[in-house]
Chain A
Amino acid sequence: MGVMQNLSRRAFIVGSAAVAGGIAFGSSSHAEQAATTANSNPLAAGLGPNAVTFNPWVEISPQKITLIAQHADIGQGVGSVQPILIAEEMDLDPGQFEIRFAGPSPAYFNSGFADEFAPFVAADQSPAAEAARAATLEYLRKTGLQMTGGSSTIPDTYEKLRVAGAVARETLKAAAAKRSGIPIADIRTQSGHVILPNGSKIAYVDLAAEAAKIAPVLDVKPRDPSTWRMVGKPMMRLDVRPKVMGELKFGIDLKMDGMMFASVKLNPNKGQPMKSYNASKAQSMTGVKKILEIKNGVAVIATNSWYAMQAVDAIDCQWAPSAYPAEQADHWKVLEASFKPEFLGKEWRKIGDIDAGLKDGTPVQAEYRAPYVAHQPLEPLNGIAIVTDKGMEIWVGHQSPQAVQSIAATAIGLKPEQVTFHNQWAGGSFGHRLEYENIRVLAEIANQMRGTPIKLVFSREEDFLQDIPRQISIARHKGSVKNGKIVAADLQSVSTAPLKGLLERTGTPSKDPDAQLAAGLWNVYYDIPNFRATSYEAQGLSPCTTWRSVGASTAGFFTESFIDELIHAAGLDPMKARIEMCTVPTYRKVLETVAQMSDWKGPLGNGRGRGVAFVESFGTPTAEVVEVTATDRGIRIDKVWVAVDVGKVVDPVNFENQVQGGVVWGLGHAINCELTYAKGAVQQTNYHHHEAMRIYQCPVIEVRGLENDPKVRGVGEPPVPPAAPALANAIFAATGKRIREMPFNKFIDFV
């Protein structure tokens, strides 16, 4: 990425070029977006001589073409597909451009959140729902919120990056027309060059200076999909080769001249300060340069990361006690006591007469539980920063560039614009890199070590201890069945609030009910005449945050397990009943597809069983069938089939990898992961306590992508929620045992 070469690159080049910065798009729905940000193309300020930028995503200098990835790459492949969407329209080939992650700017606001933030279920395409989404889009535009998450990269960029590429292409053609005197209509482009009628070629980089002097061509439309060379076809992710060769530099791999290494020990009672510490032993340890007190703990500065970690481990700290219950059992007690009106989040949906429905027919009720879970991407939290009198510069992989600025600035009394942020390739996130534990302490440390670049690396143990977990949740679901039909379903859950927690820590608190607690609870698309979905929000428990698929990771398990219980009580086949009850034709197709893929024919017998689950999350309907065998060594997962409708499969190979990975994530954590508190700290501090899936448990996972949805959807998270209920339902089919609480291995053995 080349960001490390010059610490003060931005300082040197600001103001050195005032080129065609402000560009508005033409006819697309993103035209207004570009118009709003027209005067603030963040690339304009950093251009070198004779370079041009057409919009916030394309920069061409006489030396090279740079395409900007606005969404952070946390392993989901968007560091590849974003530039590919631009390159498709620009007639660029892989290898002809560099990729750079976007800095913080409202020009990169995430339009992909419009659907998720609007208060309508995804399948509702009514004028009222669409109007609400349009209003949400305007809100997002105004706030300029730049964030990677919510499986929104493709919904956000699918159109706007192709338009950005088309603007660049047409403007380069116009520059060539001006130089050659040949009409634009006779000029074409291919492989990074403008081609004139006589076959002569002009490289894009050779047109940069001239393109900077003309008005950009805005009246463009993205090409018809039938002409695509790369998008929608099996293609090679641009980061695969450098990752396999060991050449790609993650944030943790960066190095700077004069750099010192830091490690920290922070209060494991999350959010609480340190009372006192004794570092007498650590002070004399090899490599130790300095010991610093920071707001909620201590840091050691040393000559390498390992010395820093060893020394910080030797410091004895006295911590302020937790603000939440110190012991796990009391967390559950608080949850159990929170199904009360004063803790009501919201009654999200009510259909028919739920009270009458519950009295009609055979009652069914069940309680389900989901524990706190950690994110723990394999690259631990880290970062490099330097603070000088001018401000702070930080290199770190993060999903919220503007929040990195504000959190770091607030920690050390700077203004957000004094913080320069360089995003990095990240070794996973799953929601972890939306939080700020490393940002805040790195700012504090670098501020105390002014002038010295500081590299902070969390030990795995510290990362576990500071991991703000997935919400903990209990559901108490009631329903009734009569004459082979589900008559009523009353879904009630109590949880900690993940999104509200994140917003609060970001400095933008919300008083609204946490909409993520509706995910998987209210967006149920079965024809149930009496239905209600209600969330309660428990107070005073562990801080919680977004964990891959967020609310649906717990509520999807509860809902689809309970639906399975109702279907069983009604004497129906789990697959046929779901297909027959499904009210959305495209979603029904998803279920029919997974039934066909798995050749679903009812019970298997002989200790084998299949379970199905269907969850729509982030607008993406996903159905999964899990097949298990009850062996004498425990449950063995034999095979998984997945059907998922994203409207358009943009990057097919990566799509399959993402879906398989989502299934592995969902199954692995459901089987064996939980975080439990004792004395205010989590008891699980490395992977042997919180293992998730290893290869020996991994089944064959067959994936099919459908393209029937009217909108283009994301796929990073939606394969997660159906995995746990499909597995639990399969275990029931194989053994007759209902498992209503994660992790499942507390109740049944696995091979």
Chain B
Amino acid sequence: MIELTVNGTKHQVDVVPEMPLLWVLRDELGVTSPKYGCGVAQCGACTVQIDGAAVRSCQSRIGDVAGKSVTTIEGLRDRDQHPVLQAWIEHQVPQCGYCQTGQIMQAISLLELIPKPTDEEINVVMSGNLCRCGTYPRIRAAIHAAAAKMGAK
């Protein structure tokens, strides 16, 4: 049994330690906002926070996550009022939406690192997150809008 905390709730899972966190979340715990896109850290759709840092959950062995705290978009504090999510809604970023939870988790991490990022800084941090629908212009706009909201607080 491996113990971890997901969105504030403790869980024990009976899986091999090599199993990626992504699949533990999705198939064992029913937390479906982290998405399977590539399995090799090429798309970022599986991005979650482990102890506050954005990681690709498809590359995190569950054995290494034991005892740690995982946050997915479902578990964000004040989710309904979260400035990044609000900006994403106001700019109507998603098309198919499959990559967007990963994009948002990465953007939250970016804004914690750089509160007012330039386009160039957005490019550097967000280029690991693939969007096949091509919502990049809106992702950029939403990140700037979220930065402004957070700066105003």
Instruction: Give A contacts to B, CB under 8 Å.
Output: 74-77, 236-237, 239-241, 243-250, 252-253, 255, 261, 286-287, 304-307, 309, 376-380, 426-428, 430, 457, 459-461, 653-654, 657-658, 660-665, 668, 686-688, 691-696, 698, 700-701
Contacts and interface: CB of A to CB of B under 8 A. Distances in A.
Nearest to B22: A306
Given A244-B104, A664-B134, A686 B40 contact: yes
B12 interface: no
Nearest to A458: B36
B123 A261 contact: no
Given A427-B98, A696-B123, A657 B132 contact: no
Contacts of B33: 246-247
A243 B94 contact: yes
A692 B132 contact: yes
B137 A660 contact: yes
Contacts of A662: 134
A245 B79 contact: yes
18 contacts: A75-B95, A75-B96, A240-B94, A243-B94, A244-B97, A244-B104, A245-B85, A253-B26, A287-B15, A304-B28, A376-B132, A380-B37, A657-B135, A686-B38, A687-B37, A694-B136, A695-B129, A696-B124
A398 to B, nearest CB: 14
A386 to B, nearest CB: 18
Contacts of B137: 660, 698, 700-701
Contact of B27 (A236, A244, A246, A304): A304
B89 A241 contact: yes
A122 B34 CA distance: 43
A694 B127 contact: yes
Nearest to B140: A695
A243 B100 contact: yes
Given A653-B92, A661-B135, A687-B43, A378 B99 contact: yes
A305 B96 contact: no
B92 A240 contact: yes
A244 B28 CA distance: 23
A661 B127 contact: no
Task: Sort A-B residue pairs by CB-CB distance and give the 4 closest, nearest first.
Answer: A75-B96, A664-B134, A427-B98, A246-B33
Interface string B113-132: 00000000011101101111
B72 interface: yes
Given A306-B27, A701-B137, A237 B92 contact: yes
B35 A427 contact: yes
A456 to B, nearest CB: 13
Nearest to A237: B92
A396 to B, nearest CB: 15
> Of residues B16, B92, B132, which shows the largest number of chain A Cβ atoms within 10 Å of its Cβ?
B132
Given A77-B95, A253-B32, A686-B38, A244 B100 contact: yes
Contacts of A255: 30
Interface residues of B, number: 55
Contact of B136 (A246, A307, A664, A686): A664
A687 B96 contact: no
B36 A695 contact: no
B145 interface: no
Contacts of B101: 244, 246
Contacts of A660: 134-135, 137-138
Nearest to B100: A243
A306 B42 CA distance: 18
Nearest to B134: A664
Contacts of A694: 127, 130, 136
Contacts, number: 172
A693 B138 CA distance: 14
Contacts of B79: 245
Contacts of A461: 39
Given A460-B36, A658-B95, A686-B40, 6 more contacts: A248-B97, A305-B23, A460-B37, A460-B40, A687-B37, A695-B129
B53 interface: no
Given A306-B19, A687-B43, A695 B132 contact: no
Contacts of A250: 35, 98
Contact of A460 (B26, B39, B97): B39
Contacts of B83: none
Interface in B75-107: 79, 85, 88-89, 92-101, 104
Contact of B35 (A247, A379, A693): A379
Contacts of A698: 134, 136-137, 140
Nearest to A429: B96
A13 B124 CA distance: 55
B134 A668 contact: yes
Contact of A378 (B28, B85, B132): B132
A539 to B, nearest CB: 31
A700 B23 CA distance: 36
Contacts of A247: 33, 74
B100 A661 contact: no
Contacts of B124: 696
Contact of B97 (A307, A427, A457, A700): A427
A379 B98 contact: yes
A660 to B, nearest CB: 5
Contacts of B98: 75, 250, 377-379, 427-428
Contacts of B123: 695-696
B108 interface: no
Contacts of B19: 304, 306-307
Contacts of A661: 95, 133-135
B85 A460 contact: no
A379 B136 contact: no
A306 B46 CA distance: 14
B111 to A, nearest CB: 15
Given A253-B32, A653-B92, A428 B132 contact: yes
A75 B36 contact: no
A612 B45 CA distance: 34
Contacts of B131: 378, 695
A377 B130 CA distance: 10
> Of residues A261, A378, A426, which shows the largest number of chain B Cβ atoms within 10 Å of its Cβ?
A378
B93 A695 contact: no
A246 B127 contact: no
